[in-house]
Amino acid sequence: MTHARSVSGRLPGGEAAVTVHYTDEAIVAVDTAPTESPESLPLLTAGLIDLQVNGYAGLDINSAYVSAETVAELSDRLARIGVTSWAPTVITADEARILHALHQIDLARSTDPLVRAAVPMVHVEGPFISDRDGARGVHDPASIRPLDADEVERWAAHGPIGLVTVSPHTDDAPDHIARIRALGIEVAIGHTHASPEQIRRAVDAGARYSTHLGNGIPPMLPRHPNPIWTQLADDRLTTGIIADGHHLPAEVLEVMLRAKTPARAFLVSDLTAIGGLAPGRYETPVGGQVELEESGRLSYVGTEMLAGAASTLVDGVRTVATGTTFSLADAVGLATTVPGSIVAGRRPGLGRLSIGSPPDLVLWEADGDNLGESVTVVQSGRMVS
Ligand SMILES: [Zn+2]
């Protein structure tokens, strides 16, 4: 047991001063005291949890050259902006390349306890998705293949796979989904052209998540029924949402959150390696030339097509808090308590400011209930910034 330390701030929407005492292992006490001027206090939240990260700041999980050092450095860079837990997201590639990425992530986790704590699981998005344009997004059609629980079982020998995103558009999808669930791995529906009936069957078989609902789907759909309505209406599905202000129009974000909040929606960044870099043009290994605008919008040069996300989870929290009817407290919950509950089996109490929870804490600059930059980040009890 290490000596207890503490941080003090104000909870989003709160009026009192809250002091959280923690050791390297856990939060050990939470004190609340009245204060004369709560607005002068920084905002205090649990560390943010991003369950879909492909890269950041020039570091790329899906590069053929990804190493354990890449993973560790990514973990550190994310912690410095307040994202203290994250799921490296390995996308569609041939099996050898997926296994290489999983092996490097596993190596980083086994050599560095901080990375092990920060990375409770891996998300594999693809390769069992739709190969149709629109539905596949930027995933390489040459590596997209039929849903195969045997391959997932081979991956699972190389690290803590927590979530696999699949398209359930084939008749045998429910069988494979049930087999993946039997491995202790959750299944998300995404990058799909499946029919509402195929989606219902996938959920009956055990799929419990939707991956970035409203994106990774054909641009033209029947008005109803369609797979978005089916997933929005089914309370068995908890959905990831990219709230960067570019992937979903504000009113779509509003309605999705109304259908799924408070417990069945969580924010993801879907960050790529270009996130965190200066605005400008970049060459990407899969997609050719892309342009990053000041606003964080990332698109293929000369087109309106989005080329992935470049805004952080913190930006997503701000988008929800300022661009919808939901409060900052709600927005923070979508990036802490909900994703924390998804990984609770691997890291109990994550995303909560409760006694016994992991000591991941962030103090933020505050202008009323607007979230500024992080000023203090504690990860696994260590001050990282
Ligand atoms: Zn995707």
Supply 115's token pair.
Answer: 């990375």
The whole-number average pLDDT for the span 119-144 is: 95
Cis peptide leading into 279, omega within 30 of 0?
no
Question: Do the Cβ atoms of 45 and 362 come closer than 8 Å?
Answer: yes
Tell me the CA–centroid distance for residue 297 and ligand 1, in Å. 16
Packing angle between helix 328-335 and helix 313-323, nearest 10 degrees?
150
Query: How many angstroms separate the alpha carbon of residue 176 from the centre of ligand 1?
Result: 20
Task: Tell me: is residue 62 an annotated ligand-binding position.
Answer: no
* Residue 196: partners with Cβ closer than 8 Å, 6 or more residues away: 225, 226, 227, 229, 230
Residue 118 has pLDDT above 80, yes or no: yes
Is 216 marked within a binding site? Answer: yes
- Residue-range definition of the domain harbouring residue 237: 46-276+302-345
CA of 35 to the centre of ligand 1 (A): 45
pLDDT of residue 2: 61
State the chain's mean pLDDT as an integer: 95
Question: 215: annotated binding-site residue?
Answer: yes
The answer to whether residue 39 is domain-embedded is no
Whether 285 shows a pLDDT value over 80: the answer reads: no
Provide the percentage of residues in the chain whose pLDDT is more than 70.
Answer: 99
From the CA of 189, how far away is ligand 1's center (Å)? 10
Q: How far apart are CA 202 and CA 146, in angstroms?
A: 15
Q: How far is the CA of 137 from the centre of ligand 1 (A)?
A: 7
How wide is the angle at C-alpha 362 spanned by C-alphas 36 and 353, nearest 5°?
80
pLDDT at 250 over 90: yes
Tell me, yes or no, whether 368 lies in a domain: no
Q: Name the more confident of 381 and 219.
A: 381
pLDDT at 154: 98
pLDDT tens per residue, range 41-86: 999 999 999 999 999 999 999 999 999 999 999 999 999 999 999 9
Q: How far is the CA of 139 from the centre of ligand 1 (A)?
A: 8
**In a domain? residue 235:** yes
CATH number of the domain bearing residue 240:
3.20.20.140
Average pLDDT over residues 242-269: 95
Q: Is 308 annotated as a binding residue?
A: yes
Higher-pLDDT residue of 367 and 107 is 107
pLDDT at res. 303:
80
| Ligand 1 center–CA 216 separation, angstroms | 6
329 alpha carbon to ligand 1 midpoint, in Å?
27
Q: Is residue 121 a contact partner of residue 162, using CB atoms and an 8 Å limit?
A: yes
pLDDT at residue 3 is higher than 80: no
Backbone phi and psi for residue 76, each to the nearest 5 degrees, phi listed first? -65, -45
Contact predicate 84/51, CB 8 Å: no
Asked whether residue 326 is domain-assigned, the answer is yes
Residue 305 is predicted with a pLDDT of 80
**Residue 3 within a domain:** no
Indicate if the pLDDT at residue 370 is higher than 60.
yes
Pair of tokens at residue 100: 């290489």
pLDDT of 287 over the 70 cut: no
pLDDT of residue 1: 54
pLDDT of residue 286: 61
3 assigned ligand-binding residue: no
Number of domains making up the chain: 1
Looking at residue 38, its pLDDT comes to 84
Is position 362 within any domain?
Answer: no
Token pair 């930006």 is found at 315
Question: Per residue in 135-175, pLDDT tens?
Answer: 998 899 999 999 999 999 999 999 899 999 999 999 999 99
Is 338 contained in some domain? yes
Contact 13, 45 (CB under 8 A): no
How does DSSP classify residue 292? Answer: E
Q: Was 306 annotated as part of a binding site?
A: yes
Model pLDDT for residues 16-51, shown as the tens digit of each residue? 999 999 999 999 999 999 888 888 899 999 999 999
Question: Is 335 domain-assigned?
Answer: yes
Name the residue with higher pLDDT: 275 or 1: 275
Q: In this structure, what DSSP letter does residue 294 have?
A: T
d(CA 154, CA 58): 29
Element of type H or E holding 197: helix 196-205
Judge whether residue 319 has pLDDT over 60.
yes
The set of catalytic residues is 270
Total-model pTM? 0.97
